Structure 1
Amino acid sequence: MKAIIHAEKTGFEGLSCRETEELHPQEGQVRVLLKSAGLNHRDLFVLQRHKPTEPPLIIGSDGAGVIDAVGEGVIGLQVGDEVIINPSLRWKEKSPAPPEEFDLLGYPDNGTFAEQIIIHAENVVQKPQYLTWEEAGVLSLAALTAYRALFTQGQVRPGMKVLIPGIGSGVATFLLQFAKAAGAVVLVTSRSQDKCQKALELGADRAFDSNEDWEKALGGEKVDLVIECVGAATFNRSLKQLKRGGTIVTFGASAGDVVDLNLRDFFYGQYRLIGSTMGSGEEYKEMIEFIQTHQIKPVIDRIYPLEQFDQAFKRLENAGQFWKIGFTI
């Protein structure tokens, strides 16, 4: 089968599209013929984390396709089923934090940038029929991350004011769509006027330049909840926009992972700071039900043939994308 494999060198130089051996499902597993896959920032990080001394790796976390082989002991799935893949591995039930054995598809386990994938049956669900293959292929990682951060950790409720800094990424876009569907008032920031405009078209109640004075841009208005997915560059500015007793949920550190925090201001404000990452299989099924109820679709930037992986990676690395990048297989 054809696959995007990382081997022998660190970074982009280690990537190639080549043939590799076809595998067969073992007990409890299924084999999925992939129709589409989604590119995430995590894939950029994996290119640095995966070492030349490690075995060759098929990267990629998101994907959707058709089951073409079923291992022994699999119940409820059969050859021909159209499925979408949950990349959150070995985390079944909703819990305060993932178990020690939790990991993500695409490193260290082989991932979705291939014509086939072998995966445990508990990590596939029936594809929502209203989604195209391209939409289904880019959904899971970003949507599950957004769902847990907003609902499980953020406890969003109708009427709450929610601030989402750095709109434009896949996760931030799902946060906007999910929060609006939940009845929240949604405020977003971006350094890009185009992304601000697109966010307003998606339903944001207000969008403003990240380089502005946030307090001035909000007219002194405070928010109930901030979902912080940027990192140190925006964290303290986000914190200043919280109401007393408000909550900030953080899961991203692409713009720095060390923050100076004024503890006196924090405890006098009675703020809540909660970490989040991905989600459980239970939350994944809740997320799928939620998007079907509200007919939410991923917003796609571009879809590339798998062989044009280099163009897709460069677009993501240069932050040239609006929303999600995917592959057709």
Structure 2
Amino acid sequence: MKKEVKNIDRFDISNSKVTMKAVVTTGNGGYEKLDYRDVPIPKLEENEVLIQVLSAGVNNTEINTRLGWYSSKVTTSTNDLGTVDEEKEKAAETGDGGWNEATPFPFIQGTDCCGRVVAVASEEDKKLMNSRVLVRACIRSQGWDSLENIWMASDFDGAFAQFVKVPASEVFPVDCDWSDAELGTIPCAYGTAENMINRANVSKGDHVLVAGASGGVGSAAVQLAKRRGAIVTAIAGESKLEKIKAIGADNVIPRNKDIIGCLGEKSVDVVVDNVAGASFGKMIKVLKRGGKFVSSGAIAGPLVELDMRDFYLKDLTLIGCTAWDEPVFPNLISYIEKGEIRPILAKTFPLENIVEAQIEFSEKKHIGKFVLIPPKIEDIEKFLSEED
């Protein structure tokens, strides 16, 4: 059921002096680098739209970017990085801690966005006005024939603010009865998971092993693999196993158990693994001949050991995933509107409490997603019309 909202006309904010609340990340470092303050509302260019942010999910990537974990000079897990000052300093000094190029500090993070379109720059985009939307955070910047990509909140300003501007091509109206906070759990985690499931061509009857199944991406992967008819075995902490079974896992394995002993070698068709670290070799061992290992992360450590004989003698396929493929986001919108997936909202926080949210997020005691809620603006038309 689509929510009824007041119809409003296109706003011209090109000369507006109005400011908004935002969290500005000022550089590589700790929580002191997160500055909640007033900043100018972004001005639109051709084919862009302005979105009032209704909710913004919390992800590993925002923390990793702030800490400089994407630098090639960092070799530790994401959990350890907060205490490894030498590696953080190397990343900050060389400026290579971003996904593609140097991170554009200071800037606004926030990869997930559920919002409402409140202004457009081009006449052809007026059909989007006042729509409740999700934003596709991964943009294939050179078209679908190239894997080159840029990301909202990594390469340009994101959704940890009251407003964000994005290309109209990356905005997807969604018609459902989910809350704004529930929709805010979807873009990054489910987009990343669907991209991996899609690239690995998961099909009915496949045995899929999902590592880190209690996290945002892992719990999404469990649901999305089950949606395709796969048999899912999930790995998670002991205290979270029952909840992982409740979202669809057929079998669960405690994180510290020997997965080879539990499953046996050559027992799994596809491994979905954003954990890596010391468990990588065992993940390769449990794959069947012709199996696929797909990954978009390495939270337990980016450097792994691979016995090349396991790789080539079993005809394995290793699939790296960052750039989202064209069907991924339209697929997610259809799954939501058909009721084929459900959000896993762990907790919400006011945007100004981002430090509290990231601290609790890093403790990894939750299942699903944390979501930030910006200050609400009741009368958008009046707010955007202010000149001082």
Q: Which amino acid in 1 is paired with 2:219? A: T
Amino acid at match of 2:239: D
* Whole-angstrom distance in 1 between the partners of 2:197 and 2:110: 24
What residue number does 2:194 align with? 147
Deviation at 1:292, TM superposition (A): 3.0
Shift of 1:130: 3.0
The yes-or-no answer on 1:4 pairing with 2:53 is no
Distance 1:221 1:3 in 2: 49
Identify which of 58, 61, 75 aligns with 1:42. Answer: 61
**Where does residue 263 of structure 2 map in the other structure?**
218
Partners of 1:222 and 1:3 in 2: CA distance: 48
Q: CA deviation at 1:10?
A: 2.6
Other-structure match for 2:150: 103
Q: What pairs with 1:1-329 in structure 2 (closer than 5 Å)?
A: 1-7=20-26, 10-49=29-68, 55-75=105-125, 77-91=127-141, 94=144, 98-99=147-148, 102-151=149-198, 153-190=199-236, 192-218=237-263, 222-329=267-374
Query: Amino acid of the residue matched to residue 129 of structure 1?
Result: C
SS of residue in 1 equivalent to 2:288: strand
Residue-by-residue CA offset, 1:87-111 (whole Å, 9 max, x unaligned): 112348655x622xx1111123011
TM-score norm. by structure 1 comes to: 0.92
Q: Is the 8 A contact 2:56 2:160 kept in 1?
A: yes
Contact 1:92-1:280 within 8 A present in 2 as well: no
> Is the contact between residue 28 and residue 66 of structure 2 (CA under 8 Å) also seen in structure 1?
no
- TM-score normalised to structure 2 length: 0.78
Q: Which has the higher strand share?
A: 1
Is contact 1:74–1:121 with CA below 8 Å preserved after alignment?
A: no
| Cα-to-partner distance string for 1:159-190 (whole Å, 9 max, x where unaligned) | 11100012111111111001111111000112
Deviates more, 1:40-49 or 1:180-189: 40-49
CA distance in 2, matches of 1:55, 1:243: 44
Q: Structure 2 counterpart of 1:154, which letter?
A: A
Q: For 1:38 and 1:288, how far apart are their aligned partners in 2?
A: 17
Where structure 1 has 5 or more consecutive residues not aligned to the other structure, the ranges are none
CA distance in 2, matches of 1:55, 1:266: 40
Letter in 1 for 2:314: G
Equivalent position SS for 1:257: coil
**Offset of 1:11 from its aligned partner?**
2.6
Work out whether residues 265 and 288 of structure 2, in 8 Å CA contact, stay in contact via their aligned partners in 1.
no
Deviation at 1:324, TM superposition (A): 0.5
Mapped contact 1:164–1:186 kept (Cα < 8 A) = yes
Cα shift at 1:321: 2.3
- Kindly indicate whether the alpha-carbon contact (under 8 Å) linking 2:56 and 2:159 is maintained by their aligned counterparts in 1: yes
| Aligned 8 A contact 1:94 1:279 in 2 | no
Q: Secondary structure at the match of 2:40?
A: coil
Q: 1:215: how far off?
A: 2.4
Check whether the contact 2:138–2:150 (CA below 8 A) recurs between aligned residues.
Answer: yes
Identity of aligned residues (%): 27
Runs of 5+ unmatched residues, structure 2: 1-19, 69-90, 96-103, 375-388
Rg: which structure is higher? Answer: 2
Query: C-alpha separation between the residues in 2 aligned to 1:164 and 1:23?
Result: 39
**Residues 217 and 34 of structure 1: CA distance in aligned 2, closer, same or farther (over 3 Å):** same
CA RMSD across the alignment: 2.1
Per the alignment, do residues 168 and 57 of structure 1 end up closer, same or farther by CA in structure 2, a change over 3 Å counting? same
Alpha-carbon spacing, 1:23–1:166, altered in 2? closer, same or farther (3 Å): closer
